[in-house]
Structure 1
Amino acid sequence: MERWIESNGVRLWCETLGDAADPAMLLVMGLGAQGTSWPDDLCEMLRAGGHYVIRYDNRDTGLSGRVDYAARPYTLTDLADDAVGVLDGLGVDAAHVVGASMGGMIAQEIALQHPGRVRTLTAIMSAAAAIDPQSGTFRGSERDPRLVAWDARQVTDPPTTDEQRIQARLDLARILSGSLSPFDESATREIIAREFLRAGDMTHTMQNHILAVMASRDRSELVSSITSPTLVIHGTEDLMAPFEQGRALAAAIPGSVLVPIEGMGHSLPAPALARIASEILRHTNRVGV
């Protein structure tokens, strides 16, 4: 069921799947990505596992409201407040919170700021470290040369048409895909094109997310105070958030569990979805709610 919720001064799109009487699971997506970027198959597995699944568009993505960042700057803590507002709007007291990439960073902030709202925490391909403004990557890691080259192309030869923007996103997806399965160019292009059709060109608003991440605090030491049972899922071939970031995040949160997925990059590939779903469901079942 689709609906819109006013949260933290922004109108947010969200979709729910399953029975509202079941334990809620909030899915938080990453930088510039729409809530619909959570694969339908993964959402169905989580619903079939007994959860009321909630996915939503962060501010400045998808069908949710846009913000003038210069007039109203925000950080990941504000995005965490947005997410809690979604729970408020749906009448959910607490949820299993699952975040991917920047969404995993938002999920950490939810657990830090609103611990009573988080039954369990799952961070997928995420990190606690801040971004180094010089290198453009997480402190403690080096940016892969392939990403450096892609970044440079966006500056020297920026895309100006939708087709060029789709191609740039496709090129990035190929770089980030990992070796777990062959890169499916046609299927990925279709997904990206569908996102453009749904919400238009997101280049400008994606920049807001980059600014928000850069302005946000380093959580490397703060996450040691997280009390929610925590699962960290990370691909061993992640170029955007290198595997050592996932290892460091798991090491910093007391009692957390690290699940490496061999060959997975910075993506949610179809061959990994059943494993990811089973690990999340095993994690949430441990707490019995």
Structure 2
Amino acid sequence: MNRVKANGIEIAYDTFGDAGGRALLLIMGLGTQMISWDEEFCEALAATGHYVVRFDNRDTGLSTHLHEAGSPDIAAALGGDVSGAPYRLADMADDVAGLAAALGLDGVHVLGVSMGGMIAQEFAIRHPGRTLSLTSIMSTPSPEAGPPTERALGMLLTPSAPDRESVVRRALESWKVLGSPGFPMDQERLARVAGESFDRSFDPPGFGRQFAAILASGDRTAALRELTVPALVIHGEADPLVQLSGGVATADAIPGAKLLTFPGMGHDLPRALWPKIVDAVTELTTRAAAL
């Protein structure tokens, strides 16, 4: 495990592959730590010529937690009052830029899932000179595009119990609502990652601060229309948390973006789809590197 100072915080990260490969930064979703990027998935990307960097966003894992900011009022933010949000997705995108600079990476390919896809979009908007390609997975350009089903939102907002066993149980219950109905649940892996995440860091207010950042960051559609970066949008056709229309809206907004959808895929990355996702990302980054 490594740490660097970037954008006024410390970011924990690790890497896979040759440092001379195509630099690919993996950006995780809401309240989710970098260990949710499965090592086997990262190694598959590294095997296709990428220098893979996975890291903990602010307020997750072993990166800086903004404890002094407290817990934002999520009910108020959902109602439109985002004054309690201590930061925005733009700040998190600047964290990514700071990490890239600290690692000596002038140009990077960014890949994000869910909130991480939103951060990747912000990165491309704010740092076009550093962005070689953009991959946005199970994400959206605004909170209004691809809104969650009532059941999915309820699961997202259910408070987490402060003990390891309950956190693991909650992860398994969440998959039944948010996961991929067309693919089997890897129960052992889900339980292991949930337990390891609890052991590394358990910070429900940090989850709230990230959620508030999403709600406070508005609509990126107009800014995405100005991008000239090669882009790939991947989405599950059975995603209940960010419904398919969110992915369609993302692809429609980015000039020339390719949209790749998978039947039976929910709000996760089923192992059976890893080869297709790796192939699609590799095609994008290889093409972008040749420009």
**TM score, norm. by length of structure 1:** 0.90
Q: Gaps spanning 5+ residues in structure 2: where?
A: 71-83
Percent of aligned positions with the same letter in both sequences?
Answer: 38
Instruction: Please list the CA deviations of residues 221-266 of structure 1 after superposition, one character each: whole Å capped at 9, or x if unmatched.
Output: 2210111111001111111110011011101111000000111110
Give 4+ residue runs of structure 1 displaced > 6 Å after superposition.
none
Q: Gaps spanning 5+ residues in structure 1: where?
A: 132-138
Which position in structure 2 is the counterpart of 1:202?
203
State the SS of the aligned residue for 2:193.
helix
Match 1:83 to one of 93, 96, 107: 96
Match 1:73 to one of 86, 98, 121: 86
Task: Give, as a single letter, the amino acid of the residue that structure 1 aligns with 2:197.
Answer: E
Instruction: Please list the CA deviations of residues 190-220 of structure 1 after superposition, one character each: whole Å capped at 9, or x if unmatched.
Output: 2211211222x23121111011111112112
Would the aligned equivalents of 2:17 and 2:52 in 1 still touch at CA under 8 Å?
Answer: yes
Query: What is the CA distance between 1:179 and its match in structure 2?
Result: 2.0
Which position in structure 2 is the counterpart of 1:95?
108
> 2: CA distance between counterparts of 1:145 and 1:103?
22
> 2: CA distance between counterparts of 1:232 and 1:285?
16
Task: Give, as a single letter, the amino acid of the residue that structure 2 aligns with 1:54.
Answer: V
Would the aligned equivalents of 2:108 and 2:132 in 1 still touch at CA under 8 Å?
Answer: yes
Query: What is the CA distance between 1:170 and its match in structure 2?
Result: 2.2
Task: Give, as a single letter, the amino acid of the residue that structure 1 aligns with 2:204.
Answer: T
State the SS of the aligned residue for 1:280.
helix
Task: Give, as a single letter, the amino acid of the residue that structure 2 aligns with 1:45.
Answer: A
State the SS of the aligned residue for 2:12.
strand
Which position in structure 2 is the counterpart of 1:235?
236
Task: Give, as a single letter, the amino acid of the residue that structure 1 aligns with 2:148.
Answer: R
Q: CA RMSD in A?
A: 1.8
Task: Give, as a single letter, the amino acid of the residue that structure 1 aligns with 2:40.
Answer: D
Query: What is the CA distance between 1:160 and its match in structure 2?
Result: 4.1
Which position in structure 1 is the counterpart of 2:150?
145
**TM score, norm. by length of structure 2:** 0.90
Would the aligned equivalents of 2:35 and 2:193 in 1 still touch at CA under 8 Å?
Answer: no
Which position in structure 2 is the counterpart of 1:173?
175
> 2: CA distance between counterparts of 1:179 and 1:164?
23
Query: What is the CA distance between 1:148 and its match in structure 2?
Result: 4.4
> 2: CA distance between counterparts of 1:146 and 1:42?
29
Task: Give, as a single letter, the amino acid of the residue that structure 2 aligns with 1:143.
Answer: P
Instruction: Please list the CA deviations of residues 71-123 of structure 1 after superposition, one character each: whole Å capped at 9, or x if unmatched.
Output: 99110000000000000110000111111110110001111010010100000
